[in-house]
Amino acid sequence: MNRKHFLILFILAVVAALPITYFRGKAEHYNPEKDEALQAAFEASERGEELRKLVDETPEAEQRDMAFLIINMPEHDREGMDLELLKENVTYANIARNKYAWAKELPEEVYLCDVLPYAVVDEVRDSWRKDMYELFAPAVDTCTTMYDAICAVNANIPALTGVHYNTKREKTNQSPSESIRQGMASCTGLSILLVDAYRAVGIPARFAGTASWHDNRGNHSWTEVWLDGEWRVTEYYFPSQLDHLWFMADASKANGEDRNYAIYATRFAGGNDWFPMVWADEGEDAPVEELPKWVGAENVTQHYIDLAYDQYTRHLEAGTHTFLRIAGYKEEGKTEHSEDRVAMGVDIFRGTEQMGGGLTAGELRDMNDFFSVLLPKNTEYELRYYNEAGELQTKAVALGEEEMLVSIFLK
């Protein structure tokens, strides 16, 4: 690397690290030629002239947005991404922003970092924004508030996309088109899909998750939406209300000091940390510190601990909830000894809404240790789990006033 190239890269890194307000300002006053960070990006890129031409050909009102993406995108995207995707992304982000009242009112930083980006994490960069806008615009066109639009997207996304949760999907970090083609995705693919659906209609959204829950049963991913100045928690299968998700009991046990068990939310233009993409180790079980570090993030663990504490304490004091406890055994009729117990994955649903999920205690756990979920009283639920043959099993449960212990069996 020659001295000139080194200096250009250094300037680009320094300017890109400045507060996001550096890029703010009305589009009509934006001049690409005077944007030092953009000019440095052109100079540092092997296809700088292509990028310069792209900005020049972008409508004046959208040039600031295009520049922001070029400056802040990962180097491998800047060097290899299809530029037609960037053009479509900026065009339709602006269509949504100019159309919906909630998008027009967004702070510039929120729009740039959480509506405009062309990708969520490390999924394949493909064309999604135009299709998602056309798919979801009819669902939100009659909405008058951002909250109504959030609810409309959540309520309609399974039917509009045809995508449902299924671990038989091809890979973890699926792009929207990959998930729609298969009609299935796991939590990471569903979260990417939901983030993009929100962004397509001008709703700020970001990807959140943990590398592992406290009991080491694996990672989980979900979505956050920005509403009334705050980041709120939601998920692909519509919850009864924001911030009240089935995994809050697990979130209450997260550890912000340990990257394995902390909770992160992505940030396109940097962030003070990086997101641990556990799916990127290609099955090698790499230590979390060896995972790719190029997706920016914020450590939001304490926020989730606070949410979970408030929810559980308040419900118990109000007397509206009680515990459903679940024990897993190898076979019916043998439930007295520790060797009879088995760790089984089980999910709890109220209709189509998932209310909880986790592992039953295995044979090495205390016999008084049961998987427990705090749930609304006097409500019917359905347990879903797989038997030894890999067949989905369901069990209806009517939870009354008092806590309840239910047994499920592997055989």
Q: Is the pLDDT of residue 16 over 50?
A: no
Q: What is the mean pLDDT of the segment spanning 240-257? A: 87
pLDDT at 285: 74
What b/e string do you get for 318-331 counting C-beta neighbours within 10 Å, with b at 16 or more?
eeebbebbbbbbbe
Q: What is the mean pLDDT of the segment spanning 121-135? A: 97
pLDDT at 238: 74
SS3 56: helix
User: Given 3-state DSSP classes, what are the helix, strand and coil percentages for the chain, each rounded to the nearest 5?
Assistant: 40, 20, 40
pLDDT tens-digit readout, 252-278: 889 999 999 999 999 999 889 999 999
Fold annotation for 102-310: C8orf32 fold (3.10.620)
For residue 64, which amino acid is it? R
What b/e string do you get for 135-163 counting C-beta neighbours within 10 Å, with b at 16 or more?
bbbebbeebeebbebbbbbbebbbebbeb
Q: Residue 262: left if φ>0, alpha if ψ -120 to 50, beta else—which one?
A: beta
pLDDT at 6: 47
Alpha carbon dihedral 273, 202, 118, 151, in 10-degree steps, equals: 70
pLDDT tens-digit readout, 304-340: 999 988 877 778 788 999 989 999 999 999 998 878 9
CB atoms within 10 A of CB 313: 10
Of the listed ranges 16-20, 108-112, 341-345, the one predicted with least confidence: 16-20
CA distance 48 to 42: 4
Q: Please indicate whether the domains covering 102-310 and 320-409 agree at the CATH topology level.
A: no
Give the model's confidence band at 215: pLDDT under 50 very low, under 70 low, under 90 confident, else very high: confident
Helix (H) / strand (E) containing 41 = helix 36-44
Angle 257-261-266 (CA atoms, 0-180°, nearest 5)? 90
Helices (H), 252-357: 301-318
Q: What is the mean pLDDT of the chain?
A: 90
Phi and psi dihedrals of 388, rounded to 5?
Answer: -60, -30
Q: What is the mean pLDDT of the segment spanning 282-302? A: 89
Q: Is the pLDDT of residue 80 over 70?
A: yes
Of the listed ranges 172-186, 227-241, 257-271, the one predicted with least confidence: 227-241
Provide the residue ranges of all domains of the chain, joining segments of one domain with +: 1-81, 102-310, 320-409
Angle 139-82-34 (CA atoms, 0-180°, nearest 5)? 95
Q: What is the mean pLDDT of the segment spanning 34-62? A: 96
Q: Is the pLDDT of residue 178 over 80?
A: yes
Helices (H), 45-203: 48-57, 63-72, 75-80, 83-99, 101-104, 108-114, 129-140, 146-161, 176-182, 187-200
Give the model's confidence band at 240: pLDDT under 50 very low, under 70 low, under 90 confident, else very high: low
Q: What is the mean pLDDT of the segment spanning 375-397? A: 95
For the entire predicted model, the pTM comes to 0.79
Phi and psi dihedrals of 344, rounded to 5?
Answer: -125, 140
Q: Under 8 Å CB-to-CB from 259, ≥6 apart: which residues?
A: 211, 276, 288, 289
In eight-state DSSP terms, residue 363 is T
Give 46 or 282, the one with higher predicted confidence.
46
Domain covering 320-409 assigned CATH 2.60.40.10 in the classification: yes
pLDDT at 167: 78
pLDDT tens-digit readout, 94-119: 999 999 999 999 999 999 999 999 99
Alpha carbon dihedral 305, 311, 314, 316, in 10-degree steps, equals: -100
